[in-house]
Amino acid sequence: MTNIATAAPPVVISEFMAENNGFCYDGFGNASDWLELQNTTSRAINLAGWSLSDNAGNPAKWVLPAVTLPPWGTLLIWASNADQTDPAGELHTNFALSKSGEFLGLYDADRMPVHVYSPGFPPQVENIAYGLAVSLVDATRRLVSNTSPVRAHCPADSALGTVWRGQAFDDAEWLAGLLPAGYGTKNPSWVSQVNLSLQGIAQGRPGVYLRIPFELTDATAVRSLSLAVTYDDGAAFYLNGG
């Protein structure tokens, strides 16, 4: 079976430090609070007009300039009260973070919440960053299951080459059925798990070709792919022929 993990909010406040006591220093030489924004997508995101706030009632408290987050990229912003918005230099909010805990939110240009710590993040420890776990996955979708349609072919030789791997290849004459596909000789217990038996066509042949179609509407939302199979011998897998 194949699962995909879809992205979290497009940009998150991935971590922050609300009690910086000499851990790191900004361009003014101050050990200011800081936060980090992270792009969780495979596309660049322009943050012009987005905002950060430590007040849920004032989402536009500090508005970001026209800066672009590259795919999967991060942006450091000092929460120092200095209010610096020159995109060519350091960015500083017009508020600092409370070590005792408070609301912290990121909003898009329409002042819609993108990622918030609400009602507030917990009390903080000196010189310790707080934030999200490494994994930003918040949903999964199964693309291929144990009952997905499959086409099978057991070639007598290598005459087909690699053309059969392509997405547009015509497999209409191949054996059709549902997964799992296979046969069992050394391990007969596998037979009961097979929906499409290859017993009659696979024996004596050097290998089995399987084509399993699936649909994915938004490939940009995919963070990772995972595949789980059961074979007692070597197997190779190709995505759209690649």
pLDDT digits (tens, 9 = 90+) for 53-70: 999 999 999 999 999 999
Report, at the CATH architecture level, how domain 1-142 is classified: Sandwich (2.60)
> Collapsing DSSP states into helix, strand and coil, what is residue 221?
helix
Residues β-bridged to residue 15: 36, 131
Structure tokens at 99: 């070590």
Q: Is the pTM of this model over 0.85?
A: no
How, if at all, do strands 181-182 and 196-197 pair? Answer: parallel
The answer to which of 67-76, 179-188, 208-217, 231-240 has the lowest mean pLDDT is 179-188
- pLDDT averaged over every residue in the chain: 86
The DSSP element (H or E) to which 182 belongs, if any, is strand 181-182
pLDDT-based confidence at residue 227 (cuts at 50, 70, 90)? confident
Distances (CA, A) of 59 to 69, 111, 167: 21, 6, 47
Residues of the chain with CATH 2.60.40.1260: 1-142
pLDDT of residue 78: 97
Structure tokens at 17: 């430090």
Report CA 20 to chain centroid distance, whole Å: 30
Q: How many other CB atoms sit within 10 Å of the CB of residue 136?
A: 18
Distance CA 21, CA 147 (A): 57
The amino acid occupying position 66 is A
pLDDT of residue 189: 63
Q: Hunting for tokens 């973070």 — which residue is that?
A: 97
Burial of 219 (0-12, 13-18, 19+ CB in 10 A): exposed
Query: Which among 146, 151, 165, 143 is positioned nearest to 214, based on CA atoms?
Result: 143
Q: Outline where DSSP puts E strands in 25-163.
A: 33-39, 45-46, 51-53, 62-63, 68-69, 74-79, 104-107, 113-117, 130-131, 139-144, 149-153
Question: Where do the H-state alpha helices sit in 75-148?
Answer: none
Q: Residue 138: pLDDT above 60? A: no
The answer to which of 3-7, 39-43, 129-133 has the lowest mean pLDDT is 3-7
pLDDT of residue 236: 85
The answer to which of 1-5, 47-51, 160-164 has the lowest mean pLDDT is 1-5
Per-residue pLDDT reduced to its tens digit, 152-206 = 998 988 889 999 999 899 999 999 998 888 876 666 666 667 888 887 777 777 7
Distance CA 194, CA 174 (A): 18
Q: How many other CB atoms sit within 10 Å of the CB of residue 151?
A: 20
